[in-house]
Copies of this chain bind each other. A is one copy, B any other.
Amino acid sequence: MRAMSTPSSRSGSPEHRTVAERGRVGFAPADGAGSGGATATAAPSVEGAEQLDDQIAAGLLPTRDKRGHKGSFGKLLVIAGSLDYAGAALLVCRAAGRAGAGLVTLAIPESLQPLFAAKVVEATTMALPEDDVEEIDPEPAMARILDHDHDAIVVGPGLRPGLSTAELVRLLLAAGEDGGAAPVVLDAEALRSLAAEEGWWEGDRRPSVLTPHTGEFARLRAGSGREPEADGDISGDDVARATAARDAATTWGQVVVLKGAKTVVAAPDGRLAVAPFENPALASGGTGDVLSGTIGSLLAQRLAPYDAARLGVYLHGLAGDAVRERLGDAGLLASDLPEPIALARKRLAAIAERRASGSRLGFVARLPGGTSGAGEPTAPGDAAPTPPAERSESPS
């Protein structure tokens, strides 16, 4: 694996520039500073949208206690995979490990356990009770899940479509009612289940991150009584994407990651962040599973949902750029991504450390909204790394 020194995402120009060099593209900065809006693509701006960059992402990294043990770095439960979509589960688990989770457990229907055991060597497996072959029995399955010790959950990638999956997702989401349940990433089949359930977002729900691609997003919106057409072109129009994602996050009261070129992350309180990556190499089967594993891993490491989503999207994008550097615009396989995710995290950690050293040594800190150098983007929250306590809103 090559070093990750020059991640790049060509945005309308043939030469490669690093993400940091590109700065905020296509969105006016929240504080009005900079001239990011006047780029080559001249995209219209969305008020208050934060353009993710190395500095912001580095500020989100969970601190890593030198003397921590595998429990301190987060236990993730992954509910994913079926006979038809077996690889999805493995990709989630592997990505979760590479993104730094201490322990990963894959829960699968009992009859499939031998298929998955030892496929991701570092993950353990857990059988979920079935009422038919490969068909989860939702209530006892839920009981076993609640019995298991974990800090976060990913549910959905590669799950078998059907009523029992839908019921399990419903039970899982509701299990947050007492306010103490672990946060959850809802992806793929879990999202399709929600789209068919009226008012799924009402009442107390686990803190969640939803990670739809545009098709899943449109279905979810339709399920919420919103005509998909009213959202405009959520594939190609960056403003439409951001506006729709923000509206959805507000409606559902959950963090929404609208995937695609320039992935949007929206929080229930209206905060909005946009990733700079446009990478056709990432448009292949399984890359979404890697993303949900990454976000789940960061949730398990005690990041708040909005932070886990932003950092997860950014690490995933950097990793995709690294693979694209090596293989080009086509031919990336999703299993190429997990290792570069660890390398991307290492790169951000080095940035965070340099910044922290600067602060300690009395250098002028880069302040939010200030202009601290050669056109480097700044943004609300782009200061010295916030200590975990300050940014944690996760109940786990």
List A residues at the B interface (Cβ < 8 Å).
10, 14, 64-70, 72-73, 83-87, 89-91, 94, 97-104, 113-127, 213-214, 235-236, 260-261, 278, 280, 283-287, 327-335, 339, 341-343, 345-346, 349, 353, 357
- A73-B280, A124-B84 in contact; A10/B119 too (CB < 8 A)? no
CB of B115 within 8 A of CB of A118, answer yes
CB distance from A239 to the nearest CB of B (A): 14
Contact of A85 among B86, B124, B328 (CB under 8 A): B124
CB of A342 within 8 A of CB of B331, answer yes
Given contacts A87-B120, A102-B283, A330-B345, 12 further A-B contacts (CB under 8 A): A66-B278, A69-B235, A73-B280, A91-B122, A101-B284, A121-B286, A122-B285, A122-B333, A327-B343, A328-B342, A330-B342, A330-B349
Complex interface: chain B residues within 8 A of A84 (CB):
113, 117, 124-127
CB of B342 within 8 A of CB of A284, answer no
| Cβ-closest 10 pairs across A and B | A331-B342, A328-B346, A100-B330, A86-B118, A87-B121, A86-B117, A67-B261, A122-B286, A98-B331, A327-B342
CB of B10 within 8 A of CB of A97, answer no
Which of A85, A122, A287, A343: most chain B CB closer than 10 A? A122
Main secondary structure of the interface of A (DSSP, over half): loop
CA distance A13 to B331 in the complex (A): 33
CA distance A90 to B87 in the complex (A): 13
- A84-B125, A102-B284, A104-B285 in contact; A14/B357 too (CB < 8 A)? yes
Contact of A67 among B86, B122, B260, B328 (CB under 8 A): B260
Q: List 17 A-B contacts (CB under 8 A).
A: A66-B278, A67-B235, A67-B280, A68-B283, A83-B125, A85-B124, A86-B125, A87-B124, A89-B118, A99-B330, A100-B330, A122-B285, A327-B346, A328-B345, A330-B345, A330-B346, A331-B342
Complex interface: chain B residues within 8 A of A83 (CB):
113-114, 117, 125, 127
Complex interface: chain B residues within 8 A of A119 (CB):
118
CB of B69 within 8 A of CB of A283, answer yes
